[in-house]
C-alpha cells in the first residue's frame, strides 16, 4: 500500500522540516549553506514561493513556507534533488542525502504563525549552537533583528507575514517580534 497523497492548499503557510539521511550532516561548512540558499533563490525565480522564516541546521532544515501554485511536494522534490546532486558531487558519494519524505504541517492561525516562527528561530539556541538567535547566520532571524538595509532579505522572504501581527512602524513591529522570541526562549508570558 502506497503512502497517502499530501493535501496541498495554495497560499497557505506550512511548517516544513527535512532531515539528513541517518541524521547525517546536510551542511558541512559555510559553502554548503550558501549553495542551499542559492538553490532556493534560483527555484524562487521559476516556482514562486514565500517564506516567513527559515533555519538551516547542521543535519536538518526548517521552512515556514507558502506556495502560490506549485505544490509543496513538487517544490520540496526540486529543492532536495538539486541539493542532493550538489552534495553528492561535492563529496563524491552516492545514495540518499535526505532521510525520508519531508514533514509538513499546515499553520492555521496567527498564534500558529508566531509559534512556528519563534520555534524555527530558536532552534540553534535550543541546540546550544549559539546563545542568542541573532548570532546564528543560517536563519532568517537576522532579517528581523538587524536594521534594514544592513540585512536585505531575499525576494522569497516576506517579513510582513509575521510583523503585521504587531502594531507600530516596521522597525517597532520587528522589535516587538524579536522581543517575543526572547521571551519565548525563557518561557515567559508574551504580549503580542
Give the C-alpha separation, 85 to 48, whole Å.
Answer: 22
In the predicted model, what is the mean pLDDT of the chain?
A: 92
Residue, of 51 and 189, whose pLDDT is higher: 51
SS3 letters for 75-135? HHHHHHHHHHHHHHHHHCCCCCCECCCCEEEECCCHHHHHHHHHHHHHHHHHCCCCCCHHH
In the predicted structure, residue 48 carries a pLDDT above the cut 50: yes
The pLDDT of residue 167 is 96
CB 70 within 8 A of CB 49: yes
User: Could you say which of 3.40.1010.10, 3.30.70.1290, 3.90.1010.10, 3.40.50.2000 is the CATH number of the domain covering 13-184?
Assistant: 3.30.70.1290
Among 46-60, 126-140, 148-162, the least confident range: 148-162
Predicted local distance difference test score (pLDDT) of residue 3: 65
Of 14, 116, 20, nearest to 70 (Cα)?
14
Amino acid at each position: 500500500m502506497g503512502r497517502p497523497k499530501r493535501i496541498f492548499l495554495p497560499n497557505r503557510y506550512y511548517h516544513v522540516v527535512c532531515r539528513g539521511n541517518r541524521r547525517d550532516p546536510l551542511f558541512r561548512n559555510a559553502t554548503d549553506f550558501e549553495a542551499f540558499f542559492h538553490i532556493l533563490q534560483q527555484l524562487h525565480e521559476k516556482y514562486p514561493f514565500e517564506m516567513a522564516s527559515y533555519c538551516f541546521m547542521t543535519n536538518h532544515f526548517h521552512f515556514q513556507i507558502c506556495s502560490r501554485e506549485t505544490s509543496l511536494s513538487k517544490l520540496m522534490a526540486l529543492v532536495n534533488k538539486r541539493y542532493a546532486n550538489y552534495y553528492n558531487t561535492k563529496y563524491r558519494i552516492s545514495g540518499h542525502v535526505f532521510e525520508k519524505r519531508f514533514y509538513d504541517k499546515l499553520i492555521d492561525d496567527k498564534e500558529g504563525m508566531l509559534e512556528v516562527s519563534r520555534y524555527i528561530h530558536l532552534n540553534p539556541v535550543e541546540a546550544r549552537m549559539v546563545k542568542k538567535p541573532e548570532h546564528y547566520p543560517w536563519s532568517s532571524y537576522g532579517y528581523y533583528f538587524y536594521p534594514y538595509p544592513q540585512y536585505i532579505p531575499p525576494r522569497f522572504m516576506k517579513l510582513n507575514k509575521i510583523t503585521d501581527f504587531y502594531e507600530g512602524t516596521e522597525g517597532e513591529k520587528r522589535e516587538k517580534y524579536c522581543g517575543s522570541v526572547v521571551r519565548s526562549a525563557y518561557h515567559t508570558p508574551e504580549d503580542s
